Amino acid sequence: MPGRQGGILSRLGLPAAAAALLLLAFLSRDWGLAGLLLAAAVLALAWWFFEARTVSPRELSLVATLGTVAALARVPFAALPGVQPTTFLVITAGLVFGPAAGFMVGSTAALVSNFFLGQGPWTPFQMLAWGLAGATAGWLPHLRPNPGRAGLAAFGLAWGYLFGWLMNLWFWAAFLPAAGIKGFAAACAASLPFDTAHALTILGLLLLAGRRVVRILGRFRDRMRIQYGTAAQPQEGRLP
């Protein structure tokens, strides 16, 4: 019993400490630190949720592999501002494997790629932004069962800008909070060419290779489920 109580207290202590740090950051009006802690809390909750699910070892290894591949796809294009094939791979992974796996692939891709490109306070926000791209892609088939090529292309185009705006939000909170909404608008205006390049990259890849990549990932998903004896699920993200 004492050991169990100690385990419960240790589990409660971590969120309590995180909440205290977040409250302290808000009270001190350090919006950069507050945003960083909030992003870290969301990431920790999402990773805990994924770990709490019943996930087969093969599915876990596949998600880790997709996250690594998405990370490596980012590295060769680092010198080209806005060109991010990683987002395309994260979106297709979310379409096929669902919101939880899509979030994990996106957040893993950001963390792994930054070991090559440089870690920093921006890493949690990149993890969160790419994770949300994968998660919303996983929800898309439930909101619209057959989005079609045009719908999926519009979704990818929108995320090219949403990703940039989320990163601008961190930049504004860390460096331009005194400028108010005008500072955030100025950051978005400055990043518009790079966000447009990002959006067009996703759009082009989805139109050229989206159908093929979704079909290949869908075959891996179906083979995993057949091997583990689970019932076949609806074909999420299947392009017409």
Picking from 94, 88, 70, the residue whose alpha carbon sits closest to that of residue 221 is 94
Domain locations in the chain? Answer: 1-52, 55-227
pLDDT, tens digit, for every residue of 118-150? 888 888 889 999 999 999 999 988 887 777 788
Contact yes or no for 76/86 (Cβ under 8 A): no
So what's the pLDDT on residue 148? 78
Q: How far apart are CA 207 and CA 205, in angstroms?
A: 5
Q: How far apart are CA 34 and CA 19, in angstroms?
A: 10
Phi, psi for 17 (deg, rounded to 5): -65, -40
DSSP 8-state symbol, 234: P
Mean per-residue pLDDT for 68-75?
A: 90
So what's the pLDDT on residue 41? 73
So what's the pLDDT on residue 27? 54
- 222 falls in which pLDDT band (50, 70, 90)? confident
Contact yes or no for 202/156 (Cβ under 8 A): yes
Q: What is the 3-state secondary structure (H, E, C) of 144-159?
A: CCCCHHHHHHHHHHHH
Q: What is the largest CA-CA distance in the chain?
A: 60
Mean per-residue pLDDT for 16-33?
A: 56
CA end-to-end distance (rounded Å), the chain: 57
C-alpha to C-alpha distances, 98 to 76, 78, 92, 94, 200, nearest whole angstrom: 28, 28, 10, 5, 24
pLDDT, tens digit, for every residue of 167-201? 998 888 778 776 678 888 988 999 999 999 999 99
Is 3.20.20.70 the CATH number for 55-227? no
pLDDT(236) > 70: no
